[in-house]
C-alpha cells in the first residue's frame, strides 16, 4: 500500500528497520572452531560466507545466497549449544544448509571440493584427527592468551619413563586416565606443567 501511494522512502525505511530488528534478535555466537592443527579460534561467519561464495562462483552463479547460507548455518550450529566445533562439523552444516535452501548443484560442487581436499591431505600425509582431538585433548590457555589443544604426549612419555623397571598393577593407560582427573579445560600452560610434574612424582 505504501508503494502504491508513492511512499517509497517510508517503505524502504520499514524494510531496513525490520532487517535491523532481525539482526538484533540473533543470539551472540559463542562457538569456537577447532582447526585441523588443533588450534582453537573464534567463530568467523565471514569466512564461511567467503567459502560458500567460492562454490557459487565456481559454477558461474550469483553468489548473493552465500550470505543467507552462512547466516543460517551459523544460527543452527550456535543453537545446538556446543562450545567447540571441528571443521568437518561446520562443513557438514554448510552443506546441509545449501541443500535445505535448494542450492543442490552448488552443494554437489562443495561436496566434490571437500572430497578433493581430503584426498590431497591424505596424499600429503595429513590425516584429519578432529574426532580424536575432541576425545583425548583438552583446551589449554597459552601465556599470550591463545587457546590450543594439549595432546598429552609429554604426560605419556613421563609415565612410560617412570614405569621402567617397576612391577605395577596398573597399565600406562590406566595411570594416564587417573592423572588426567586433575586436569580441566582452559587451564593455563604453566598450571598444566606444574600439575603433570606433581602428579608424575
- In order of 11, 24, 25, 111, the CA distances from 67 in angstroms are 23, 17, 17, 19
State the pLDDT confidence band at 149, using cuts at 50, 70 and 90.
confident
Strands 40-42 and 32-34: antiparallel
The tens digit of pLDDT for each residue in 18-46 reads 444 444 466 788 888 888 777 888 899 99
Of 122 and 83, the structure prediction assigns the larger pLDDT to 83
Strands 40-42 and 187-188: unpaired
> Does the global pTM surpass 0.85?
no
**Quick one: pLDDT at residue 200?**
57
Cβ(150)–Cβ(156) below 8 Å: no
Cβ(40)–Cβ(33) below 8 Å: yes
Of 139 and 5, the structure prediction assigns the larger pLDDT to 139
Give the residue extent of every domain in the chain.
Answer: 1-26, 31-123, 137-200
**CA 77, CA 94: separation in Å to the nearest integer?**
10
State the pLDDT confidence band at 69, using cuts at 50, 70 and 90.
very high
Cell of 58: 565456481
First to last CA, the chain: 79
Amino acid at each position: 500500500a505504501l508503494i502504491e501511494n508513492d511512499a517509497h522512502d517510508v517503505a524502504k525505511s520499514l524494510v531496513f528497520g525490520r532487517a535491523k530488528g532481525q539482526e538484533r534478535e540473533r543470539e551472540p555466537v559463542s562457538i569456537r572452531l577447532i582447526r585441523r592443527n588443533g588450534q582453537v579460534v573464534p567463530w568467523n561467519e565471514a569466512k564461511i560466507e567467503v567459502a560458500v561464495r567460492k562454490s557459487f562462483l565456481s559454477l558461474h552463479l550469483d553468489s548473493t545466497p552465500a550470505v543467507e547460507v552462512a547466516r543460517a548455518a551459523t544460527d543452527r550450529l550456535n543453537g545446538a549449544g556446543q562450545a567447540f566445533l571441528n571443521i568437518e562439523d561446520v562443513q557438514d552444516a554448510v552443506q546441509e544448509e545449501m541443500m535445505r535452501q535448494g542450492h543442490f548443484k552448488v552443494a554437489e560442487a562443495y561436496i566434490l571440493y571437500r572430497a578433493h581436499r581430503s584426498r590431497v591431505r591424505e596424499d600429503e600425509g595429513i590425516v584429519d584427527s578432529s574426532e580424536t582431538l575432541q576425545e583425548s585433548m583438552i583446551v589449554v590457555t597459552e601465556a599470550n592468551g591463545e587457546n590450543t589443544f594439549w595432546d598429552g604426549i609429554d604426560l605419556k612419555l613421563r609415565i612410560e619413563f617412570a614405569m621402567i623397571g617397576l612391577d605395577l598393577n596398573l597399565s600406562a593407560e590406566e595411570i594416564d586416565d587417573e592423572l588426567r582427573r586433575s586436569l580441566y579445560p582452559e587451564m593455563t600452560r604453566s598450571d598444566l606443567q606444574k600439575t603433570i610434574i606433581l602428579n608424575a612424582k
